[in-house]
């Protein structure tokens, strides 16, 4: 994931002479910032991206932690990345903030107004939803195709070659992101409570979740849930649901099958709206897959099942598992915009 380690002052100083680029992937679980040299050559491969520094902080989704905390986290992670690269804010040439919870132009405007006060006047700034960085991580900075993110939250985001965009889901758990990690885990917790009440079938999720949470009775789950209902805390139970399903539990399997269909429907909606599949529905298009829910499991291959569902509708689906993280995708987008700006300034 790049050729330089944090603290490699000689390499960092040499590459950062022409200024630096920051890429930020702000999620509901954590926030990552990478620092690249502005004067770098186009990377020939994912492994050739010269990362000067990488920093990690907590959640920066303002819908989850509030706007003030989210902005503090973003500033913290960018400041740390610059320090690790042995440089400072004056060297910043461009920044791409790709943050979950940025869903409307007004969200972008507020964040742009905020970030302009942090860096030099001649710096370039780009604010996007985190799905944009995830897509760019699979296409190495080229915005074309569709990305499905399924982690704590979920979203599908697509871009055509002429710049048209569409999205589906990404509105949070209250508004139906049931293919997300939070959605899967919340359904599992609900199933345990229903089984305990006698309103639903018995399930091994009861024993498995109680063991995971070190609780003695299902009614204790209520207090555990509302003591801290943060999305990431609930979503952390997804591996328990997958394990129960792999062991044959019918309730857990139904939850995962339903979630697979939700995720597939989310992608299908975006692809259909943008006609990424072409007029006949058979054109090849890249589908970038990102997020912990889509990571490979022993028996229950969630991403594989999602791809099967989508491919039944659009046989041209070309799945891509990125070799670089979304923060690098964000940085490559910022770097690309920076390079285009230099060409315009030089009249080329």
Tokens standing for residue 116: 């302009």
- pLDDT one-digit tens code per residue, 61-106: 888 788 899 999 999 999 999 999 999 999 999 999 999 888 788 9
- For residue 343, name the pLDDT band (cuts at 50, 70, 90): low
Among 32-41, 123-132, 296-305, where is mean pLDDT lowest? 296-305
CA 116 to chain centre: 24
* pLDDT exceeds 90 at position 6: no
The model's pTM is 0.82
The fraction of the chain above a pLDDT of 70, given in percent, is 92
**Beta-carbon neighbour count of residue 206 at 10 Å?**
21
Of 283, 328, 276, nearest in space to 138 by CA: 328
The mean predicted confidence, pLDDT, of the chain is 90
What mean pLDDT comes out for the span 202-222? 97
Q: What is the pLDDT of residue 231?
A: 86
Tokens standing for residue 348: 């080329």
More confident site: 7 or 155: 155
DSSP designation for 229: -
Q: What is the pLDDT of residue 301?
A: 93
Torsions phi, psi of 331, nearest 5? -65, -40
- pLDDT one-digit tens code per residue, 151-189: 988 999 999 999 999 999 988 878 878 899 999 999 999
Task: Kindly list the structural domains of the chain, giving each domain's residue range(s) and its CATH number in brackets, ordered by start.
Answer: 12-138 (3.30.420.40), 181-258 (3.30.420.40)
DSSP designation for 174: G
What mean pLDDT comes out for the span 216-240? 93
Q: What is the pLDDT of residue 5?
A: 56
The fraction of the chain above a pLDDT of 90, given in percent, is 73
* pLDDT exceeds 50 at position 10: no
- HSE toward the beta carbon, residue 250, CA cutoff 13 A: 4
- Going from the C-alpha of 162 to that of each of 17, 32, 58, 143, 144, the distances in angstroms are 35, 29, 35, 10, 9
- pLDDT one-digit tens code per residue, 291-321: 899 986 668 999 999 999 999 999 999 999 9
Match 């989850």 to its residue by tokens: 64
**CA terminus-to-terminus distance, the chain:** 32
Largest distance between two CA atoms of the chain: 73
Q: How far, in Å, CA of 103 to CA of 127, rounded?
A: 11
Q: How far, in Å, CA of 80 to CA of 215, rounded?
A: 38
Q: How far, in Å, CA of 137 to CA of 157, rounded?
A: 13
């Amino acid at each position: 994931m790049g050729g330089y380690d944090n603290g490699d002052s000689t390499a960092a100083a040499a590459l950062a002479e022409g200024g630096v680029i920051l890429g930020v992937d702000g999620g509901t679980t954590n926030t990552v910032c990478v620092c690249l040299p502005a004067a770098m050559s186009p990377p020939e491969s994912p492994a050739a991206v010269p990362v000067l520094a990488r920093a990690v902080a907590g959640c920066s989704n303002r819908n989850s932690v509030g706007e003030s905390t989210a902005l503090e986290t973003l500033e913290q992670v960018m400041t740390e990345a610059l320090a690790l690269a042995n440089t400072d804010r004056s060297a910043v040439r461009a920044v791409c903030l790709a943050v979950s919870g940025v869903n409307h132009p007004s969200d972008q405007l507020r964040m742009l107004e905020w970030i302009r006060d942090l860096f030099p006047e001649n710096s370039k700034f780009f604010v996007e939803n985190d799905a944009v960085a995830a897509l760019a991580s699979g296409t190495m900075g080229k915005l074309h195709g569709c990305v499905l993110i399924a982690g704590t939250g979920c979203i599908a985001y697509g871009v055509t070659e002429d710049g048209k965009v569409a999205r589906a889901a990404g509105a949070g758990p209250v508004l139906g992101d049931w293919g997300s990690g939070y959605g899967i885990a919340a359904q599992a917790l609900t199933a345990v409570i229903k089984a305990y009440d006698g309103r639903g079938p018995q399930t091994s999720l009861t024993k498995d979740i109680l063991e995971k949470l070190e609780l003695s009775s299902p009614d204790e789950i209520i207090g555990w849930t509302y003591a801290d209902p943060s999305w990431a805390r609930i979503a952390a139970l997804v591996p328990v649901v997958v394990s129960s399903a792999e062991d044959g539990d019918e309730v857990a399997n139904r939850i995962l099958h339903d979630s697979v269909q939700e995720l597939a429907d989310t992608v299908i909606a975006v692809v259909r709206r943008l006609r990424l599949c072409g007029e006949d529905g058979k054109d090849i298009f890249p589908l970038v897959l990102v997020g912990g829910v889509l990571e490979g499991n022993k028996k229950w291959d969630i991403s594989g099942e999602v791809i099967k569902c989508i491919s039944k509708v659009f046989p041209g689906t070309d799945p891509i598992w990125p070799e670089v993280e979304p923060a690098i995708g964000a940085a490559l987008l910022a770097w690309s915009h920076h390079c285009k700006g230099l060409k315009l300034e030089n009249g080329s």
